A and B are shown apart, each in its own frame.
Chain A
């Protein structure tokens, strides 16, 4: 039972991560792979505030999310002013730099990881309650994603992806929108990190390396970029499938690389054979019903 609850929590967090990442790389069309580092910032900030400064855990979690959002805006703003390509480089540099710093600073526990993170909810409500919290958070993320993508904001994002010059010529501020989406998505990742930290009560920097970036990219790309349910499907599949392999009796030295090989191999197969993912996004922007042109008679 415990195993299933933990799996549910991992799936919930992955869904939130993949869904918010989809907002960034899919709907906003921003080229970044640094989502895990904002996950890490949320985890570490929340864990440290709660453990060392004694902040109540919910408040610490909120601070973790805000820190992740602020950090992402600080990365995005200077690089987006130059051009889209630089965001990629800046985000990679930021990701590796922050992880390098975490490994070398004593307050974060260094490369060995941060231990004794205060628990939350589990002692009062049990693990089931925590799983419910995480799943509610994941569902909220997916719903927000859908709302943003299919409302006026999504319309503007769609126009921006189509033609940024024409978009700016109409008076829309593309850079501000990109930074806002980036910060929002990263804030969600930060909150997910905080939720992770206070459940497992132990984080290490190596959980947030480029491998994690690849896993998230896989979820979004295999599931279907720029769709509401694609990343959800991708996250569930890619969290559940490797669990199946763990039942096969293999030494860990082989199991880890084998899992990685399956992950990356699967993405490559998809990139070549089905680039649109399991769930394909349509060419045209789909408004939510109340914004649809077809229902304009009722408005």
Chain B
């Protein structure tokens, strides 16, 4: 099995703070990997390094063999990398449907020249994007709120919109940053189901999550991070059972 995402020797420090210290990590198609570790272990920072929020100091990141490190954030996304954000980062001035419509990997509507010269092509692509967005909304059971401004939804629904927007990329690799934090009830079930379906479609998924139950139910594998390092990788149950890691997690 060829890995989708390959990270080798990734380093990043801000002044004296080390957020990534020689990280090696591979993500395989169809597998869900849970990233666990205490706050400040560098989990979200790792996502930020992969997606290009800030550049890494050293090391390589490959997506399907293609180098991502050094590329701008939008270039990485257009190569098939999608992510969600811990604090949502939805577009409050857009409806739920429009939030999704900004998300496809190819979006002809953001080129003025294209709009002027090929309006029919843009319209056709818009129609395709709309159908796809409606499909995704169906899957995430958000169809009923498609026209509602994203800011007016419940927190759980907003989390789902965040994931749905990321799904619009048809990404090869999906990074989910705390998808379950603050999510309860029906949204919880939907979230689990959606992530599973996405993985079954052959996408490499990586989840940062503090909800251990969610990680255990969903992830094929766990990766334990501490102080910018990957300390262990293996079945989630084993990682949870390891007294050494538990001690690091909860601190002493």
Contacts and interface: CB of A to CB of B under 8 A. Distances in A.
Interface in A278-299: 283-285, 287, 291, 293-294, 296, 299
Interface residues of B, number: 47
Given A284-B95, A285-B98, A293-B98, A170 B110 contact: no
Nearest to B127: A299
A251 B174 CA distance: 71
B74 to A, nearest CB: 5
Given A152-B109, A159-B94, A181-B112, A166 B85 contact: yes
Interface string B61-80: 00000000000111101100
A156 B165 CA distance: 14
B209 to A, nearest CB: 19
Interface stretch (A10-18, A103-111, A172-180, A212-220): A172-180
A138 to B, nearest CB: 19
Contacts of B92: 162, 283
B83 to A, nearest CB: 6
Contact of A168 (B77, B103, B115): B77
Contacts of A170: 74, 77, 82, 102-103, 165, 168-169
Interface in A142-166: 148, 151-153, 155-156, 158-159, 161-163, 165-166
B115 A153 contact: yes
Contacts of A163: 89-91
A169 B51 contact: yes
A285 B112 contact: no
A169 B77 contact: yes
Nearest to B110: A156
A294 B102 CA distance: 17
A171 B107 contact: yes
A293 B126 contact: no
B186 interface: no
Nearest to B148: A293
Contact of B97 (A165, A167, A169, A293): A293
A208 interface: no
Contacts of B53: 165, 169
A294 B112 contact: no
A285 B94 contact: yes
A284 B98 CA distance: 11
A156 B112 CA distance: 11
Given A285-B98, A293-B95, A169 B110 contact: no
A176 B113 CA distance: 12
A165, A169, A180: residue with the most chain B Cβ atoms closer than 10 Å:
A169
B210 interface: no
A162 B134 contact: no
A293 B143 CA distance: 11
Contacts of B109: 151-153, 155-156
Contact of B93 (A165, A166, A285): A285
A180 B82 CA distance: 25
B94 A162 contact: yes
Given A151-B115, A166-B91, A171 B98 contact: no
B112 A173 contact: no
Contacts of A180: 111-113
A152 B107 contact: yes
Interface string A164-206: 0111111111101100110010000000000000000000000
B235 interface: no
Given A162-B92, A170-B74, A287-B98, 18 more contacts: A152-B101, A152-B110, A152-B115, A155-B98, A156-B102, A165-B53, A165-B73, A166-B85, A166-B89, A168-B52, A168-B77, A169-B73, A171-B105, A171-B107, A172-B102, A174-B74, A284-B149, A291-B126
B120 interface: no
Contacts of A162: 91-94
Contacts of A166: 85, 89-91
A114 to B, nearest CB: 31
Contact of A158 (B82, B93, B107, B169): B93
Contacts of A299: 127, 130-131
Interface in B147-189: 147, 149, 165, 168-169
A152 B77 contact: no
A48 to B, nearest CB: 27
Contact of A173 (B96, B97, B110, B122): B110
Contacts of B4: none
A141 to B, nearest CB: 14
Contacts of B97: 293, 296
A152 B115 CA distance: 9
B115 A293 contact: no
B33 interface: no
A136 B127 CA distance: 32
22 contacts: A152-B107, A155-B94, A155-B101, A156-B102, A156-B109, A159-B98, A162-B93, A163-B90, A166-B85, A168-B73, A168-B77, A169-B53, A171-B169, A172-B102, A173-B110, A174-B74, A177-B110, A181-B112, A285-B95, A291-B126, A293-B97, A296-B130
